Amino acid sequence: MIQQKICLLGSFSVGKTSLIRRYVDSLFGDKYLTTVGVKIDKKQLRVADQDYSLMLWDIAGEDDFTSIRPAYLRGMGGYIIVIDPTRPHSYDAAIAIHEMVKTTVGHLPAVFALNKSDIKTSWQLDTLQYQHLHQFGHPIVETSAKQDLGVENMFLQLIQQWSKQHG
Amino acid sequence: MDKLLTSICSSLNLAIFSRQTTEQFRLLSNTPDWLVFFLGQSVANDSVLTHTFPYLTCFMEDAEHHWQTQQTTPLTSGVWVEIDELGNELALEASAFCANGKAILLLQNLGEKYRQEVSHLQQLREGLLTQEKLENEVHKRTLKIKQREEEIAIKLVSLTSYRDEETGAHVKRIGLYAAAMGKALGWNTQQIDDIRIAAPMHDIGKIGIPDRILLKKGKLTEVEFDIMKRHTEIGAKMLHDSNIPVLDMAAQIAFCHHEKWDGSGYPRGLIGEDIPESARITAIVDIYDALVHERVYKKAMCEQEALDLMASMTGSHLDPDLFKVFSGLLPVMRRIRQEVNEIGDLLVSY
């Protein structure tokens, strides 16, 4: 059994808690309820004959009132940065968070999740921003916690990066 | 533990542990009800708190350092949330400090304090979301207005292309050269965007010049030249008073692009920096592009020849400092020349 700690990071209200709730409990709530502090969930799964136990750290979104404590990232095996492409501000926050994580813990498996793909017509990311995200070299997954799109794939993308690392 | 201390711990929802080994902690206080579910069988024994509360794995390194250095002021872990036996959220926070030489870990159920904090942050973040939405809407609408302004400006530019020898590619290049100059001069994004659209309109007043003069093959007579000179004033009149920044700049350029650095230009004979910078830039890039491209009435000059000629015009016709900036940007200007060519380019298309 491989145990891994995964942190979900991103601006506030991008859907980190909803993605975990969808993945762990197959549930979704429409109302925005802010997260304060850290919530930890567990998920066990089997991928390519290998058992994984994932500790999913749902870390309160960054804004003017709270910031991510570097200590939260200790022992992390990989991370997911969630962006709400309907809110350009969340893209800027994602880039800043990614830089902070790289500076704090170095290069680790990561995934960028473009959440709220159920309202893709309202997305506002432009080509340059997409290109910039691609340049980081991490998978970019479109997700919708609401419609359960891409959620499992988002975690699988992270697991595949560990598989590649460990041959 | 005496009764008073027990009562205080109960009121504050506190559990007090003392560290036994690096991993194990012994409960010194009574076991609060909320903690029983989490500690289970280990209530009576020493507990490995990082197993019970995985969140503490990110805190113990700092706590350990705090204990090792015998700090008596509490170091807090930050809040984390557990789910109790009823499925309710329980917000906890740990504090590490030393008391009487012992390493102490306090665990507090934040209860109502946490709920108030959540409610407060919920309100603030909902406010931020609303503000973001409004700013986004304003940004989108401003962009739409700007796009419309640009479309109108481009239509205006295309009018001149129908009347004289200049091609769409020429006017487009003028805008791009001028924008590159603006950028190098440290202009803000808005001004750079404006000159990209405004500079190509410098000759828009030619629309008011009769064909017999505008399209005359030979040399203009003095009277004809006086009429031709009026294209600066006609252009400025066409563009001024719009209250649209890009057209205001275009009016300024149209009016002043034939002024010369030494004051010998027209229509007003302005000298040096009295000539708006946008017009001085346009004069340089217009001359450059005209010299290095072929026209019906002349052959293209090689670039070095054109630059030598322009250098000889600095101080009299062209702003010497701006010409230096232009010369420094030659690789950029050459790329613009290569990318924006004349083929099939009758109208400007951005």
Residue B236 belongs to domain with CATH number: 1.10.3210.10
Q: What is the pLDDT of residue B164?
A: 62
Provide the shortest C-alpha distance from residue A12 to chain B (in Å).
Answer: 8
Interface A–B counts its CB contacts (< 8 A) at 64
**Which range of residues forms the domain containing residue B89?**
3-112
Q: Are A55 and B80 an interchain contact pair (Cβ–Cβ within 8 Å)?
A: no
| More confident call, B31 vs A7 | A7
Does residue B246 lie within any of the structural domains?
A: yes
Percent of chain A with pLDDT over 90: 75
With cut-offs at 50, 70 and 90, classify the pLDDT of residue B346: very low
Q: Does A53 touch chain B (CB under 8 A)?
A: no
| Look-up of token digits 């004979």 | B269
pLDDT mean over B113-133: 91
- The number of folded domains in chain B is 2
Amino acid at B151: E
Whether the ω angle into residue B200 lies within 30 degrees of 0, i.e. cis, is no
pLDDT in tens, A47-93: 988 899 999 999 987 776 678 899 999 999 999 999 999 999 999 99
Tokens of B48: 């490995």
Sign of CA dihedral B164, B170, B172, B175: negative
Last residue of a domain, one of B91, B112, B133: B112
- On whether both B307 and B201 belong to a single domain, the answer is yes
Q: What is the pLDDT of residue B350?
A: 35
Q: What is the pLDDT of residue B2?
A: 77
pLDDT in tens, B199-222: 999 999 988 999 899 888 888 999
**Which range of residues forms the domain containing residue A11?**
2-165
Q: What is the rounded CA–CA span in Å between residue A12 and residue A66? A: 10
Backbone phi, psi, residue B114, to 5°? -70, -45
Provide the shortest C-alpha distance from residue B61 to chain A (in Å).
Answer: 9
Q: Are B122 and A33 an interchain contact pair (Cβ–Cβ within 8 Å)?
A: yes
- On whether both B319 and B217 belong to a single domain, the answer is yes
- On whether both B166 and B246 belong to a single domain, the answer is yes
- The number of folded domains in chain A is 1
Q: What is the rounded CA–CA span in Å between residue B46 and residue B61? A: 20
Picking from A37, A74, A88, the nearest residue to B136 by CB comes out as A88
Q: Are A69 and B78 an interchain contact pair (Cβ–Cβ within 8 Å)?
A: yes
Does residue B118 lie within any of the structural domains?
A: no
Does residue B241 lie within any of the structural domains?
A: yes
Q: What global pTM score does this model have?
A: 0.71
Q: Regarding beta strands A110-114 and A78-83, do their DSSP bridges make them parallel or antiparallel, or are they unpaired?
A: parallel
Q: Assign residue A141 the CATH number of its domain.
A: 3.40.50.300
Q: Spell B66-79 as b/e; 16+ CB within 10 A means b.
A: bbeeeeeeeeebbb
Does residue B217 lie within any of the structural domains?
A: yes
With cut-offs at 50, 70 and 90, classify the pLDDT of residue B345: very low
| More confident call, B346 vs A157 | A157
Does residue B120 lie within any of the structural domains?
A: no
With cut-offs at 50, 70 and 90, classify the pLDDT of residue B184: very high
Q: What is the rounded CA–CA span in Å between residue B18 and residue B97? A: 10
List of chain B residues whose C-beta atoms are within 8 Å of the C-beta of residue A71? 58-59, 61-62, 78
- On whether both B108 and B149 belong to a single domain, the answer is no
Q: Are A36 and B118 an interchain contact pair (Cβ–Cβ within 8 Å)?
A: yes
Q: Count the helices and strands in chain A (H runs, E runs).
A: 4, 6
pLDDT mean over A32-52: 90
Amino acid at B300: A
pLDDT in tens, A85-120: 999 999 999 999 999 999 999 999 999 999 999 999
Are A85 and A142 contacting, i.e. CB atoms less than 8 angstroms apart? no
Does residue B135 lie within any of the structural domains?
A: no
Tokens of B248: 């205001």
Alpha carbon of A100 to those of A82, A96, A105, A111, A163: distances in Å? 15, 6, 9, 15, 25
Q: What is the rounded CA–CA span in Å between residue A14 and residue A87? A: 9
Q: Does A123 touch chain B (CB under 8 A)?
A: no
pLDDT mean over B231-246: 90
With cut-offs at 50, 70 and 90, classify the pLDDT of residue B296: low
Check pLDDT > 70 for residue B69.
yes
Are B163 and B206 contacting, i.e. CB atoms less than 8 angstroms apart? yes
With cut-offs at 50, 70 and 90, classify the pLDDT of residue B255: very high
Q: Spell B157-171 as b/e; 16+ CB within 10 A means b.
A: bbebbebeebbbbbb
- On whether both B300 and B164 belong to a single domain, the answer is yes
- On whether both B105 and B149 belong to a single domain, the answer is no
Does residue B82 lie within any of the structural domains?
A: yes
Residues 6+ apart with CB under 8 A from A10: A16, A61, A62, A81, A82, A83, A84, A90, A93, A94, A97
ipTM: 0.90
